[in-house]
Amino acid sequence: MLKIFLNIKNYNPGILLILFISLFTSCQQYHDTTARFNAYFLAKEKMLEIEDNLFGKPQNNYNDILQVLPAIDTNASVGQKAGFEYIIEKASLPIQWHESSKWVDDCYIVIGKSRLYQGDFMNAVLTFRYVNTNSEDDEARHASLVLLIRTLFESDQMNTVPSVLDYIRKEKVPFNEENTRNYHLVMAQYNRYLEDFGKVALHLEKALPFVKNRADRTRFHYILGQIYQMQGLDTEAYENYDIALKLSPTYEMEFHSSLNRSGVQKIENEEDMIKASKYYRRLLSDEKNREFRDKIYYEMAKFAIKQKDYPTALNYLNESIQLSTSNTIQKSYSYLKAGEIYYYYLKDFEKAALYYDSTVQVMPPKIKEYEPTKELADILVEFSKYHSMVKEQDRLIMLSKLSEDERVSYLENEIETEREAVLLKKRNEDLRDERRKKVASAESADLEEKENAGWYFSNSTAKVFGRTNFIRKWGSRPLEDNWRRSKKELNSLPEEQVAGASGNNSKVEEQETKEDIFASIKPLSARQEEVPTTQEKMDAVLAKLDEGLFGLGKVYAYRLKEPENVFSTLERQAAEFPQGENTPEGIYIMYLICKEIDSCNHEMYKNTIISKYPESFYAKILINPNYVEESNIKNEEAEALYNQSFALFKETRYEYADSLLNKAINNYPENIYLDKIHLLKAMIVGKTTDDLKYYYFALNDFINDFEESDLVDYAKNLKSGLSTAHLDIGEPEENEPIEENKNEE
């Protein structure tokens, strides 16, 4: 050691400086090389493997705008737990043993990504913030900021993202190409969560020049096509779908790109229509598209809707529903689209209710359309309740006006119609089962189609197009003689379009059917019993009709926002039930809606309420706009008097309590506490009288005067505790029956 020291002393100081610099540089290179190509390399390669497992094959919902970045599924990440532990272990080594290495920041980032993918959002945020605060490497800081944004919105901390964006805007050092690409992709996904699709498209357009991966480029062009199509920019949509189609590395993406591209083509004449029809027919006939036939019919329906050809669209949607055996998501969208046609375009809420209900039964709750669809389905259930109530009461009233023979004939025809409907439904179900079996056995279906390619009735695709063209020209008609007669009634129910025959064929099928499929059909005797042939039955029917009309009017007014139906429904209620309990409110609803319509005379409804129903709540608020506020004040004062009286009652100061109750009754005759006040007065009678029959009569008067009060049961219990045998009240007067003592055997 001494010799080495003496030798060093003999060297020139400049040479010593160079020696120490070389030694330090070599040491730094050692740390950088060891950190990068040992631990960090292994951690990074494992991360790429896990990312491919988690995000390499995303589940796409092609009926919605695709996600820009694959969703982080913490449940799926559980299966990669060992891999994440390996990454964190390896990436931690350079941090511990090579602290001076420039790759330490990259190790922190890969650790932060491991925590992000596992759902450990708090530690992921801390990791990325640490890198941004302590790193001297601008590229590492920028990468950590981009990942920080993603962590924040993936963990529902959306309100924190703007502060990070403000920080990035103040950044003086520009992002490199990789960080620029990742920033715009993360921002596109952030705006995808916000459903700000204009900004999604803006960021995707900025990211695309830096995207080299072919699958990613395909996906982003497809998303741009979807957004532009949604915005009505068909030319831009067509261009992006076309690029996606040419780039597409998978058949699934190629198929959907081609299908959507056809949906944004301009239809300017009959030739374009024929061209589009041939295109869809070619897709249906291609065996590679067998599993996508439900989607093809769905897009054909959307194409028909654009042409306002709703019967054809419903027919296509019905085909899509039948072909969707395993793809429940597509089936739910087909149900939903059919419901939308009936709801928004045809205004047939009764049929819309059926399709919306089916949608909710099939659609997975995770889909964004589920909640608004379920909300509307619930509204339509309420609509169906009152609509059916009105229809049934109208039917019963109509039957009551027929002679006995006419009534029997009508009911027998009704039963026959229902039996045919059951047979029709059974036939449809059999056809669907048969079609499912064909789809399940692809090889048999292929062989059958090859053998019968030239025979029209063996070609399912040809039959669908033939049936569609027939319905477009003639409507839906049963298979029977003289079907061309102009007076035949048309019916466009999509279920009936599937069935091949009814009428005489139904009777043959009925004889061949062994199972009791008609068990749910009500027999003739039961139907006759329902007809209101007595005044008592008629009163019950009219009461239900009144209830149904009022309920239906409210649904139209508050839930469906259909003013025309509100007026037609509630006008009928007011005309047929002028003394109905709900009639003043019904007229008031029309008054409120009428006020919002310039051409409507709302004063007419106001005058009707005031003149015909002067004692109603609605007349009072129309006469005095401050009525509610003043009533609330009176109710508060009446409540205060009641509370004082009750306190005095408990103190046995009955006379004073009774005087306060009388004051409440006299000063505030319409307060909402009258039932409590009168019951307490009756109880005071029980405490102050020597003759219990007066207490009995006071309770009996309360029960008769406040039949709707929640306190009636309590009063009856008090009354039942009094033995009539010891009251000496004699025989009860007419219309005032005395209840038996519940405690007496």
- pLDDT of the residue at 456: 53
Query: Which of 79-93, 461-475, 539-553 is most confident?
Result: 539-553
- How far lies 161's CA from each of 129, 134, 146, 168, 195, in Å? 13, 21, 10, 11, 16
> 158 pLDDT exceeds 60?
yes
Banded model confidence at residue 453, pLDDT cuts 50, 70, 90:
very low
Asked if residues 28 and 100 have their Cβ atoms less than 8 Å apart, the reply is yes
> 399 pLDDT exceeds 50?
yes
Q: Which two tokens stand for residue 539?
A: 């009163």
Contacts of 56 (CB under 8 A, 6+ apart): none
Identify the residue with better confidence: 274 or 377. Answer: 377
User: Which residue has 């009525």 as its token pair?
Assistant: 627
- pLDDT of the residue at 450: 43
Tell me which architecture the domain covering 42-211 has in CATH.
Alpha Horseshoe (1.25)
pLDDT digits (tens, 9 = 90+) for 641-667: 999 999 999 999 999 999 999 998 998
Asked if residues 27 and 96 have their Cβ atoms less than 8 Å apart, the reply is no
Q: Sign (positive/negative) of CA torsion 249, 118, 133, 203?
A: positive
Least confident of 215-229, 290-304, 437-451: 437-451
Domain 627-726 class, CATH top level:
mainly alpha
Banded model confidence at residue 465, pLDDT cuts 50, 70, 90:
low
Asked if residues 345 and 310 have their Cβ atoms less than 8 Å apart, the reply is yes
Q: Which two tokens stand for residue 90?
A: 């390896």
Asked if residues 442 and 290 have their Cβ atoms less than 8 Å apart, the reply is yes
Average pLDDT over residues 521-547: 94
Banded model confidence at residue 475, pLDDT cuts 50, 70, 90:
low
Least confident of 467-476, 527-536, 676-685, 697-706: 467-476
Average pLDDT over residues 63-90: 88
138-154 vs 121-134: helix crossing angle, rounded to 10: 160
> 674 pLDDT exceeds 80?
yes
Tell me which architecture the domain covering 270-364 has in CATH.
Alpha Horseshoe (1.25)
- pLDDT of the residue at 444: 47
Asked if residues 103 and 43 have their Cβ atoms less than 8 Å apart, the reply is no
- pLDDT of the residue at 483: 52
Q: Sign (positive/negative) of CA torsion 157, 158, 160, 166?
A: positive
> 28 pLDDT exceeds 60?
no
Q: Which two tokens stand for residue 186?
A: 């993360």
- pLDDT of the residue at 460: 54
Q: How far apart are CA 9 and CA 1, in angstroms?
A: 13
User: Which residue has 């669209």 as its token pair?
Assistant: 313
pLDDT digits (tens, 9 = 90+) for 341-371: 999 999 999 999 999 999 999 999 989 899 9
Asked if residues 719 and 736 have their Cβ atoms less than 8 Å apart, the reply is no
The one-letter code for the residue type at 176 is N
Q: How far apart are CA 32 and CA 625, in angstroms?
A: 82
Asked if residues 161 and 190 have their Cβ atoms less than 8 Å apart, the reply is yes
Mean pLDDT score of the chain, rounded to an integer? 83
> 461 pLDDT exceeds 80?
no
Average pLDDT over residues 485-490: 44
- pLDDT of the residue at 482: 55
- Domain boundaries along the sequence of the chain: 42-211, 270-364, 402-479+491-531, 627-726
**Rounded (5°) CA angle 370-375-378:** 120
> 718 pLDDT exceeds 80?
yes
Average pLDDT over residues 203-212: 96
Asked if residues 121 and 151 have their Cβ atoms less than 8 Å apart, the reply is yes
Least confident of 414-418, 457-461, 585-589, 616-620: 457-461
User: Which residue has 């350079």 as its token pair?
Assistant: 94
- How far lies 12's CA from each of 1, 9, 20, 138, in Å? 19, 8, 13, 40
**Local structure of 400: helix, strand or coil:** helix
pLDDT digits (tens, 9 = 90+) for 132-157: 999 888 999 999 999 999 999 999 99
- pLDDT of the residue at 612: 95
- pLDDT of the residue at 627: 84
Say if 270-364 and 627-726 have the same CATH topology.
Answer: yes
Banded model confidence at residue 379, pLDDT cuts 50, 70, 90:
very high
Question: pLDDT exceeding 70 applies to what percent of the chain?
Answer: 80
**Local structure of 502: helix, strand or coil:** coil
> 510 pLDDT exceeds 50?
no
> 734 pLDDT exceeds 80?
no
Q: How far is C-alpha 597 from the chain's CA centre? A: 31
Whole-model pTM: value is 0.69
User: Which residue has 């790759």 as its token pair?
Assistant: 103
- pLDDT of the residue at 480: 60
DSSP codes of every residue in 266-291: ---SHHHHHHHHHHHHHHHH-GGGGG
Q: How far apart are CA 678 and CA 697, in angstroms?
A: 13
Q: How far apart are CA 229 and CA 225, in angstroms?
A: 6
pLDDT digits (tens, 9 = 90+) for 526-535: 999 999 999 9
